[in-house]
Structure 1
Amino acid sequence: MTRNRRLGGEGAGVSGRPGRFHGVDDARPSLAARVVSRGGVGAATLVLVVAVLAVPLGLTGLWRPVVVLPLLLVALAGALVAAHRTPVLPSPRWAAGAIVLLALGGGLWAGLTHAEHVVLRRDAGTYALSGQHLATAHEVRVDVRVADLGGAAVVDDSGVTSGSPGFFEQGSGAGTHVVPQFLLATPAWLSIGWWLGGWTGMLLVPAVALGAALLAFGGLALRVLGPRWAVPATALLAAAQPVLHAGRSTYSEPLALLVGCAGLALLVDTTRVGAAGGWTAARRLALPAGLLLGGVALVRVDALRETALLLPVAALLAVRRDGGGGRLALGLGIGTAVAAASALLTSRPYLGSIGGSLLPLAAGVVVLLGASLGLVALARRGVRLGGVARRRLPEVLEVLVLLAFVVLASRPLWQTVRQSPDDPGSRVVAGLQAQGLPVDGGRTYAEHTVQWTAWWLGVPAVVLAALAAASLAARVGRAWRDDRPLPAWTGPLLVAVGSTALTLYRPGITPDHPWADRRLVTVVLPAVVLLSVAAVRGLAARVPAARVPVAVVGLLALAVPVALATAPTAGERTERGEVAALHRACRAFGPGDTAVLVDSRAANEWTQVLRGACDVPTVVVRTRRGQPLPAETVATVVRGVEAAGRRPVLVAADPAGVTGATRQVVGLRTTEDARLLERRPGRGVRLDVDLWLAPVRSSAR
């Protein structure tokens, strides 16, 4: 076995044909091997096709089962074709079978312990309510029923709003409506779950997506580590608590992980086939690889970061003429353009709200695109890196990776990262700091992101991953210096190092845990797992006489911290009872009632629940915590609702905010995930979910 294969997992040689790799033996690959190699690509293709279909259908009110389900069958057929065209890397039956079982087990585990976050407090609630609305209203836009709220005079009052966290109010007067916050891919899939099984079906969609994502990750690990080492890598990722957490709740990360891993797996195939001389096959694989990788932005807008990092990979492939560089760039461009159009058409207010984070991403795409085009132009003119710079390229890359790790890991010693104290997140942080920390709401705690990663994967994994990344970067430099084909894992390595560094530098999320740790799920945790397992593999290969003991000790050093971190919440279910509480709330309203929400917590949690799930016209009187209820505004709304021939019902999460004959319709005592800033969280904490109603009449009657 060559040195190239020991650490980086180059694996077997390839044929020039796109449909099959030869490696373990020349026998027909097992069913499990075909599922692992191809299943992630097929599932990812299906995810993106449905995400694209959801845009025109959701904008025109045609997102209905009678329209979507036949199209879903066509999309499934296309996904099967895409999977069939994906190369298969044969592997021992036990290894491929183990990966399949781990993927199924991870999805089943998440499904059995799924959360019921449907009363809106965090992003999971926004996704759930967006999916439910899309499934039942059949369109993206949320009709607020202006006439039933008292007409344009009421909704245009500056003290009144129809919006709530995750749902942006748009328009004015009779044209007032609400737009859900996030991109449409995840709500579209959640809505399909709703059609199949109501709330339970919808809440299980992330677990199914997680199972598919673990399968796609196993396929990627199979390509870059080899079949035997792909098994422990898949097990480690499946057991990591942030990954499990994302699969238990209605988040976008499982879908993004699925599509990203599948795209990178195809990119590995492209590079490997091209390096072996199969340029026609490489070009055939490069386009779908680019489409998948660019299409991740249909699920999560921050995937533009990975798109930007892959542009230099496309340029390197084009310069080295290994095949596929131009097709990869074309696929990235098409996928990104479709994602941008989708976001602009369905989530424009959301894009405006994150402009401060989105503009640097867009700028990065432009800069790296320019640099990549410049690299190709210089290469075609015969300009090459020479002299000392060429000879020292491997050492330079190795030092840069290690230096980046040292800088990120040492930040708590010399930096305290802050944001504007006027940012809404600052108020949240300040409230959490009341747990016993100095109150400084401007802190983001971003200097601790390496520590966040080590909480869940362990210090050995983080250190080994950094060392492996530096070593592999040097190997890419040597391949370039010596005019050898680029290693097949070059693209995933650049994404792993670059995106991980950028995410750890600026996570861009409220830093309470474990909620914040989902930012690590799509790239950081998979990258650290792959690199750390590659490091253990390399160490074992360097001591042939003690290869098995070194491998066992190394894998235990990776597995034990993961198990200890996940164990406290392994069987925990959060927000249990919220679906039943929602049904109780819906039954409390009559057909002629209009809900008037009069305290800030009720406005945050119940606005879209009542309007979307209960079909109750809902309006919010703007209030500030600690300030008296604006009686004049409430009176105006009540008169307007009565003039519309309906009965106004005051709604609050605290009975102190409601006057008159109050009635508690929800008094749920459940648990939610902890909200800690400086410690790894364990079990959840108590959560009270309350709802009080008070029918009211205007004094004019």
Structure 2
Amino acid sequence: MLDASSPTGAPTPTREEHRWAGLLLTRVPVVLAAVVAAVTVVAVPLVLLDLWRPVVALPVVLVAAVAAGRLAVGVPDVAAPRWAALTCVGIAVAAAVWAGLTHAEHVVLRRDAGSLALYAHHLATVGGLPVDPRLGALGGAAALADPAFTLASPAYYEVGDVVVPQFLMGAPALFSLGAWAAGWTGLLLVPALLGGAAVLAVAGVTARTVGPRWAPLAAATLALAQPVLHANRSTYTEPPALLVFAAACAVLVEALRRVDQPRLAARLGGGAGLLLGAGGFLRIDFLREVALVLPVVAVLLALRHPAARALLAGTALPTVLAALAAVAYSRPYLATISASLLPLVAALVGLAVLSALGVRLARAGVLARTSVLTSARLAPVLTGLFAVVLLVVASRPLWMVTRQDPEDSGAKLVAGLQQNLGLPIDGGRTYAEHSLDWMAWYLGWPAVGLAGVAACVLLHRLVPALQGRAALPAWTAPFVVGVGSTLLTLYRPGITPDHPWADRRFVPLVLPFLVVLATAAVARLAARAPELLARVMPVTSRGLVSSGVSAFGVVLLVLPALLATWPVAGQRTERGEVAAVAQACRAFTEGDVALAVDPRSRNEWPQVLRGTCDVPSASLVIRSSVGAVGSEAYDQALREAVDRAAARIRAAGGRPVLVAAGGVLAPEETLARLGGTEPRQVTDLRTPEDQRVLITRPDGEQWISVDLWTAVAPLPAT
């Protein structure tokens, strides 16, 4: 990215570089990303038609994948040394293998990974949406009229007489392919494979912008970063999102580079837009990157770049389709995140209007006649202001405390963690002012500092190009989108700040962007070091000086990432949960209907039993105004709710089974208070989960119990 060997920043091939190596390093990840994006797109109509089944979906997916792959094959590659390409592939494979060997088994729902795993399992086994709760077995419409009865559970919303999963469909559809191949194991391994491909994609972007010899450094640093490993181990949306976004950046670089090849530039611009917009089938916050690409499109239109219109059209089409799919399948989820979503939509509209206005003013010559915008001083002024912004972001912990509504569910979770960790109780804190500290935990402050310096240098180079006094660099689009998205994410991460879960928010863009910038800074320092050193002392070997600086730079980037990840490198969380779920399923017989009656069972088990065990399931919830859990009033209200629900289930021909997993009371005590008969402990698993911390880097694990107790609901008193 700091390579000045050509006006566009294109690396200059040498005799040691080979096209086949460049193809492996820079084209293969784009093909893989195009295939992934195609799968997420075709999943929408097939799920809508209840046709996401192997006999129908696999042929369609294969055709879409081949078509997408053929289009992506046309993306130009960059010649690379064999050692660089093979090293990057080796790092990517090692990252995938290690994440696979240490993959989590989060299928009893407590976190997003569990909800996405259950979502994927539902798609793999049922083939459509919404989730049918088999309301008839639960008592029909009369059950829905009961104020204590609910079909909902965390990440699964009750909408009328059906259940709707929380998240977007793209990632669960991808994971479900693994379920078709190898059941739960295959489903849980897909993120590791996608994560390995994402590491290779970031290496490819580095090869195109910094130079192929520096791609292994970026790949190793990113693969070692603990948030990346953590996301690759579990069923999260971040691995496929990172893959698709990195590929979009790679294609954008080539589109802007081919200014002298209009047809190729237009085709590449359209392809980059399609990949960028396809992120909307994976994550709802893709709107941020779509909004930030609009000013880039405006600049390209003003400069009459051949990629401009195609980039705009390519981005708009999948964005609209993804928005429609989100409204159709995830409307309750969109409502719950409206506080974050509406500002994103407003920003998208606002930037669209401003970008259109900017294009009209530029083409009318108004901007060219504005002395402030054409001044040679603009570059240093903007660079200085940008440096101040970076310093403000870095210094926030010294003068800022960010808070949210203390009544928010996330705030209550934070308060509980603060109490457990011995911290002052202030549940409204989001700790967002420490977001840059979080990045330094995993990359080290030297890498973060180098990335900041590189960003300032690149901005100083970009401004003259925007003024028309220099050629537009090929890295313009990824740089603008990366800077904007990174600053916005650091300013407002928008996630409960318990680590390591919170850090996955930075995986799709912020971490790889910082890694590539830091790598670019090391590359530039290695190239300039002999010249700079020669000004103060004789230099006998320029190559030796450059190699020494390169080696030092490698240590600065790789060593902190390695040291941060080492304590948890071999950690494997939630192991044994797949077997525990299978054991739970065997405990139920035909005609059983599950009623979750305590806090943990209501959180963890309804969708597991409904979606995996094919047991109709619901929860009984007593309003807090009745009394505290365990109080006489609460017990009486819950017993009455159990009697009503059990009577409806028996009238429908089923057997009501109470399930408990713990909370304020032990599960067996809850069942005893309700008069349950034939009580038994179905699962008794003790398994590790990630450490939950707020102000320090996570470096260990904690142990949790995965329990399930059952009892038959008592017969009504006579």
Q: What TM-score, normalized by structure 1, do the two folds share?
A: 0.95
Instruction: Give me the whole-angstrom Cα distance separating, in 1, the residues matched to 2:692 and 2:16.
Output: 53
The alpha-carbon deviation at position 611 of structure 1 amounts to 0.5
Partner of 2:537: none
Matched, 1:221 2:224: no
The alpha-carbon deviation at position 119 of structure 1 amounts to 0.2
CA change 1:691–1:26 in 2 (3 A) is: closer
Structure 1 SS opposite 2:410: helix
The alpha-carbon deviation at position 47 of structure 1 amounts to 1.6
Structure 2 SS opposite 1:143: coil
The alpha-carbon deviation at position 27 of structure 1 amounts to 8.0
Structure 2 SS opposite 1:300: coil
What is the CA deviation profile of residues 390-440 of structure 1, one whole-angstrom value per residue up to 9, with x for unaligned ones?
222211331232122111111111111111112111111111011201111
Structure 1 SS opposite 2:692: coil
Instruction: Give me the whole-angstrom Cα distance separating, in 1, the residues matched to 2:111 and 2:46.
Output: 27
Partner of 2:581: 582
Partner of 2:703: 686
Instruction: Give me the whole-angstrom Cα distance separating, in 2, the residues matched to 1:27 and 1:223.
Output: 13
Instruction: Give me the whole-angstrom Cα distance separating, in 2, the residues matched to 1:658 and 1:225.
Output: 63
Say which of 88, 91, 97 aligns to 1:102.
91
Partner of 1:357: 340
What is the CA deviation profile of residues 77-136 of structure 1, one whole-angstrom value per residue up to 9, with x for unaligned ones?
112212211101111111111111111111111111100000000000000000001111
Structure 1 SS opposite 2:494: coil
Partner of 1:538: 524
- Matched to 2:590, the amino acid is P
The alpha-carbon deviation at position 482 of structure 1 amounts to 4.9
Matched, 1:599 2:628: no
What is the CA deviation profile of residues 183-209 of structure 1, one whole-angstrom value per residue up to 9, with x for unaligned ones?
000110111111110000000010011
Say which of 177, 191, 199 aligns to 1:192.
177
Partner of 1:635: 643
Partner of 2:146: 157
Which blocks of at least 5 consecutive residues in structure 1 are unaligned? 14-22
CA change 1:268–1:3 in 2 (3 A) is: closer
Structure 1 SS opposite 2:487: helix
Instruction: Work out whether residues 468 and 531 of structure 1, in 8 Å CA contact, stay in contact via their aligned partners in 2.
Output: yes
Instruction: Give me the whole-angstrom Cα distance separating, in 1, the residues matched to 2:191 and 2:98.
Output: 11
Partner of 1:64: 53
After TM superposition, what 4+ stretches of structure 1 lie above 4 angstroms from structure 2?
A: 25-28
| Segment drifting more, 655-664 vs 222-231 | 655-664
Structure 2 SS opposite 1:658: helix
CA change 1:108–1:2 in 2 (3 A) is: closer
The alpha-carbon deviation at position 25 of structure 1 amounts to 4.6
What is the CA deviation profile of residues 647-699 of structure 1, one whole-angstrom value per residue up to 9, with x for unaligned ones?
11110002221123421111101100011011101111111111111112322
Partner of 2:4: 4
Instruction: Work out whether residues 404 and 501 of structure 1, in 8 Å CA contact, stay in contact via their aligned partners in 2.
Output: no
What is the CA deviation profile of residues 34-67 of structure 1, one whole-angstrom value per residue up to 9, with x for unaligned ones?
1222122212221222112111211221111110
Matched, 1:133 2:146: no
Equivalent residues in 2 for 1:634-673, closer than 5 Å: 634-653=642-661, 654-659=667-672, 660=676, 661-673=678-690
Partner of 2:566: 567
What is the CA deviation profile of residues 165-190 of structure 1, one whole-angstrom value per residue up to 9, with x for unaligned ones?
0101001xxxx010000000011011
Partner of 1:402: 387
Matched, 1:287 2:295: no
The alpha-carbon deviation at position 155 of structure 1 amounts to 2.6
Instruction: Work out whether residues 320 and 485 of structure 1, in 8 Å CA contact, stay in contact via their aligned partners in 2.
Output: no
Structure 2 SS opposite 1:662: strand
Instruction: Work out whether residues 9 and 534 of structure 1, in 8 Å CA contact, stay in contact via their aligned partners in 2.
Output: no
The alpha-carbon deviation at position 29 of structure 1 amounts to 1.1
Partner of 1:614: 613
Partner of 2:539: none
Instruction: Give me the whole-angstrom Cα distance separating, in 2, the residues matched to 1:470 and 1:113.
Output: 39
Equivalent residues in 2 for 1:381-400, closer than 5 Å: 381-385=364-368, 386-390=370-374, 391-400=376-385
Instruction: Work out whether residues 397 and 470 of structure 1, in 8 Å CA contact, stay in contact via their aligned partners in 2.
Output: no
Instruction: Work out whether residues 95 and 228 of structure 1, in 8 Å CA contact, stay in contact via their aligned partners in 2.
Output: yes
Instruction: Give me the whole-angstrom Cα distance separating, in 2, the residues matched to 1:88 and 1:642.
Output: 66
Matched, 1:91 2:80: yes
Instruction: Work out whether residues 3 and 10 of structure 2, in 8 Å CA contact, stay in contact via their aligned partners in 1.
Output: no
Say which of 484, 502, 512 aligns to 1:526.
512
- Matched to 1:454, the amino acid is A
Instruction: Give me the whole-angstrom Cα distance separating, in 1, the residues matched to 2:27 and 2:360.
Output: 36
Instruction: Give me the whole-angstrom Cα distance separating, in 1, the residues matched to 2:5 and 2:458.
Output: 11
Partner of 2:534: none
Instruction: Give me the whole-angstrom Cα distance separating, in 2, the residues matched to 1:655 and 1:392.
Output: 74
Say which of 228, 231, 237 aligns to 1:246.
231
Equivalent residues in 2 for 1:243-392, closer than 5 Å: 243-274=228-259, 277-385=260-368, 386-390=370-374, 391-392=376-377
CA change 1:352–1:192 in 2 (3 A) is: same
- Matched to 1:226, the amino acid is G
Equivalent residues in 2 for 1:387-536, closer than 5 Å: 387-390=371-374, 391-434=376-419, 435-536=421-522
What is the CA deviation profile of residues 332-381 of structure 1, one whole-angstrom value per residue up to 9, with x for unaligned ones?
11121111111111111111111110011111111111111112111211
Instruction: Give me the whole-angstrom Cα distance separating, in 1, the residues matched to 2:569 and 2:415.
Output: 30
- Matched to 2:603, the amino acid is N
Say which of 625, 629, 633 aligns to 1:626.
629
Structure 2 SS opposite 1:301: coil
Partner of 1:117: 106
Structure 1 SS opposite 2:4: helix
Partner of 2:195: 210
The alpha-carbon deviation at position 2 of structure 1 amounts to 9.8
Partner of 1:16: none
The alpha-carbon deviation at position 387 of structure 1 amounts to 2.4
Instruction: Work out whether residues 322 and 485 of structure 1, in 8 Å CA contact, stay in contact via their aligned partners in 2.
Output: no
Q: Percent identity?
A: 50
Instruction: Give me the whole-angstrom Cα distance separating, in 2, the residues matched to 1:365 and 1:636.
Output: 50
Matched, 1:50 2:39: yes
CA change 1:231–1:28 in 2 (3 A) is: closer
Instruction: Give me the whole-angstrom Cα distance separating, in 2, the residues matched to 1:197 and 1:375.
Output: 53
Instruction: Give me the whole-angstrom Cα distance separating, in 2, the residues matched to 1:363 and 1:696.
Output: 51
CA change 1:49–1:148 in 2 (3 A) is: same
- Matched to 2:19, the amino acid is P
Instruction: Give me the whole-angstrom Cα distance separating, in 2, the residues matched to 1:643 and 1:670.
Output: 39
Instruction: Give me the whole-angstrom Cα distance separating, in 1, the residues matched to 2:316 and 2:14.
Output: 36
Instruction: Work out whether residues 118 and 578 of structure 1, in 8 Å CA contact, stay in contact via their aligned partners in 2.
Output: yes
Instruction: Work out whether residues 598 and 650 of structure 1, in 8 Å CA contact, stay in contact via their aligned partners in 2.
Output: yes
Instruction: Give me the whole-angstrom Cα distance separating, in 2, the residues matched to 1:235 and 1:640.
Output: 59
The alpha-carbon deviation at position 9 of structure 1 amounts to 9.3
Instruction: Work out whether residues 9 and 224 of structure 1, in 8 Å CA contact, stay in contact via their aligned partners in 2.
Output: no
Instruction: Work out whether residues 513 and 674 of structure 1, in 8 Å CA contact, stay in contact via their aligned partners in 2.
Output: yes
- Matched to 2:629, the amino acid is G
| Segment drifting more, 564-573 vs 658-667 | 658-667
Partner of 2:64: 75
What is the CA deviation profile of residues 282-308 of structure 1, one whole-angstrom value per residue up to 9, with x for unaligned ones?
111100111111221111010110111
Instruction: Give me the whole-angstrom Cα distance separating, in 2, the residues matched to 1:324 and 1:375.
Output: 18
- Matched to 1:604, the amino acid is N
Instruction: Work out whether residues 114 and 573 of structure 1, in 8 Å CA contact, stay in contact via their aligned partners in 2.
Output: yes
Structure 2 SS opposite 1:512: coil
